[in-house]
Each structure stands twice: as C-alpha cells, then as structure tokens.
Amino acid sequence: MSFKKDFVWGSATASYQIEGAAFEDGKGWNIWDVFTHEGGHVYGNHTGDVACDHYHRFKEDIKLMKELGMKAYRFSVNWARIMPTGEGAVNEKGIAFYNELIDELLANGIEPYLTLYHWELPYDLYKQGGFLNPKIADWFYDYASVIAERFSDRVKHFFTLNEPQCIIGLGYLSGEQAPGLKTGKKDIFQMIYNLLRAHGKCVSALREKSVQPVKIGLASCGNTYYPASDSPEDIEATRYATFHMINDSLHEAVWNFATFMDPIYLGEYPKELREYFGDVLIELTEEDKKLISQPLDFYGQNNYNSAEIKAGKDGKPEIVNRYDGFPETMMLWPVTPEGLYWAPKFIYERYQKPFFITENGLASMDWVHVDGKVKDYGRIDFLQRYLRALKRAAEDGADIAGYFQWSFMDNFEWALGYAKRFGLVYVDYETQERIPKESAYFYKEVMETNGENL
C-alpha cells in the first residue's frame, strides 16, 4: 500500500538557520543574532550571519528542490526581517524577499507552508520582556496580520509556532538556546500562558486578514513514547505517558506536549498541571479558552526519537533503560522508528486532526567522498525505517496528511553551530556549493512513488 493520494511530501528549514544576510536590507536584530554574537554560547562561536546564504541563493536552492522532487516546502519567516523592531514599521525589502521566494516556489510547482515563528524573536521585543510581557499576544497579532495581508493570496497553509516546548524549555528553562536564560517556575508558567494567547491571536489574525481561505496549525514536539511490547498493559501505559506527566518536575511540565496542545486543541490544561503547579499556573478564563482553542485545520509534530515504556506497578508507565550500544545518531539521539507509528496513532486519537510530521531526520557523519558523492547510507536506512512506521500508522486509521523531512540542506544547528549535518543536500560553507546526498535521491524516489516501495 501507499500513502493517500493527496499525501504531502516535502522538506523543511528555518530562516535563521539558512538565510544569512543577518544585517542586510533593513533587517533588525533578533535574539539569535545577539546570542551568537555575545560569544560562548554556540559551538565554535559560530553565527548565522551567512549560514547557507539562502537569502541570495534561494532561486538556486528552489531549482534544486524541484530537481529532487520536492512537492512542498515548509519554511519560516524571520519576524525581524519583516518588522525590524517587532512592531510598527514594515520593512518592504524583507517583504520583497519573501514574495520572491513564494513566487519562485509556486513557479516550480512547490507548495509553500509558512511558519510564522521559528524562534527568531525580534530583540527589541525581548528588551520589553518578550514572552514574559502579556503584550506578546498583540505583537504577534500585528505581525501575523502583515503576513496574512502580504502573502495569503498565494500561501494557503500556515504554522503559527514551531515547537513551543523548545521556545520555553531551551530558551528559558535550561538556557541552552537564545535568549539563554534560566528562569523559575513562576516565569515559566507566565510565558506558557502568554505564548498560548499569542498563538490564539495569530490564528485570529490569519482568519481575519487572509485574502482567501487558509489552513492553520502549529508544529509541536515534546516527549513521545512507544510500548515495550504489544501487551494491552504496555500499550495503555504508553498512551497514558504520552498525555500525562510521569513526575512533578518542571522539566516534565514543559516537555510534555499536552501542556501546550491540550489548551490549544481541547481548551483545557492537563489535570496534572493544576495538581503539581496550581500555585503558579495561570488559569484560563473562558475568554482565554475561546481565543486559544480556536479550531485548527491540522496538527503538526516534530519527531526525531521516542522513549520506550512498560507497564510497572499498578499499570503505571515506566521508562525502559536502553541497552549499551543502542543505535544513535550524531546528536546522540536514539534511533527509534517505532515512535513514528505510536505517536501519530495516539495523537490522532486524542485531537482528531489531519496529522503532519513537520520534522523528522537525523544528523549523520557526512562528507564528500573521493568520487564527489556524499554517501549517507545511514540516513537512507533511518528514513526508510521511520517512513515505514508512519505508513503503518496511516494504514491503521490515523489521518496522516504529510511528511516534511528535516532538513532540505545542512544548516546552522542552533547551539551546535555547523558541527552537525541534517540535510538531504550537503553544503560546503566555505564555497556555498550544494551537493545532493545519496539520501536525496532515495527520498526523491519515495516521493515519486508515494511511498509505495518502502
């Protein structure tokens, strides 16, 4: 069997990771510009100042996307390129760049999927408190209004946020990523509340200001699991772990995706948040619920790995320790294709929305071989295993709408700089040469056959 006939095949990127041109044509500073230029935060003190120089080479890149069979492309818009201070004046040169990008995609038969926020908070908004300031919802509304008014005549699919768990968990809990803070639980829950309202305001703007009917969702991440066996007990324990906190730590609260997705899709916080964090949790008013849980058209999940669960005492979920030598990627993430069956299955059961895998892929040890090829056979095996699992989820009744491989090309991997390569296309950062890897040709065949031969 293959995936459904209108299945969406594509790849994904994020603006700061590929565009470069960090200080050209009126773009303002964002938190990643500041974070990287401060030094000491990123491997090798690398920055995204140039990255893949996609800002100047997007036509070349889109031509290559077409040659490699891409049907859809998920990209993000850099808020500070559109509105340099995050509010007020619009930068027409930034608008022009994204207009040309969208037009070029459509001219090459590639459907644009636009993410409004992939971590590039304008620095001027950060100085006003950023996600700690309740005004973030209104700032996001105004930004989303510009996006809708300028691009919705051609873009039909929008993601409001990418990985709210990472926005909070890496930016403000662990401090690993921009803006690099370590805040307490009171601030964490204030930001979660503000971020949820910002999402809702973004949806409102897109619905109100778009010039044609559009489809809206967001891209989540968070902890996902698969059962240690096919026993009903292990499966039920895994289902429970997927949507409930296993312990009462702040880390668990932030990385349990139901913390964000339940309010958005069901209109309520998970019950454990009230039980464990009732002293700092900002309860949702009826007005909040109406704003935050406006109907969405699809659900997006970024998934790279999952943990194994077994039923312990009284059926409670327990994480199974991995054996020594368990397969890992260059990120030291376990290779767990089972997660691309069980996570979509459970999430679709709960939220009942067409389901996209919005990111999936791996960092592997890639280099150009003496014959000029990049022979990333590990990535081919990885993709085949994960896509087989996703296909099984579709065959078992989940409405699997599409798959975006991460990433189209090697890029700036956040705090790891250019040390890790996730791309289907190899990028020589000294020359900016692009070389499709062997996995790109494998994925092209998968797309051409709609996964028939996986």
Q: For residues 328 and 334, is the Cβ–Cβ distance under 8 A?
A: yes
**Peptide bond just before 407 cis, omega within 30 deg:** yes
Q: Which of 308, 338, 359, 413 is catalytic?
A: 359
Q: Tokens representing 326?
A: 């368990």
Q: Which of 163, 272, 338, 413 is catalytic?
A: 163
**Alpha-carbon span 281 to 188, nearest angstrom:** 9
Q: Tokens representing 226?
A: 């698969």
Non-local (6+) Cβ contacts of 50 within 8 A are: 20, 22, 429
**Alpha-carbon span 26 to 28, nearest angstrom:** 6
For residue 412, the SS3 value is coil
- Annotation says 163 is catalytic: yes
**Alpha-carbon span 62 to 52, nearest angstrom:** 13
Non-local (6+) Cβ contacts of 444 within 8 A are: 68, 69
- Secondary structure E strands in 7-120: 8-12, 72-76, 111-117
Element (H, E) at 67: helix 54-67
**Alpha-carbon span 438 to 383, nearest angstrom:** 12
- Annotation says 349 is catalytic: no
Strand partners, 219: 162, 300
**Alpha-carbon span 295 to 218, nearest angstrom:** 12
- Secondary structure E strands in 191-271: 215-220, 225-227
Q: Is the dihedral of CA 55, 60, 66, 67 positive or negative?
A: negative
**Alpha-carbon span 154 to 11, nearest angstrom:** 19
Non-local (6+) Cβ contacts of 169 within 8 A are: 251, 254, 255
| 3-state SS, one letter per residue, for 32-60 | HHHHHHHCCCCHHHCCCCCCCCHHHHHHH
- Nearest-5° Cα angle at 348, 204 to 240: 110
Ramachandran angles phi, psi of 85, nearest 5°: -100, 5
Residues designated catalytic: 163, 359
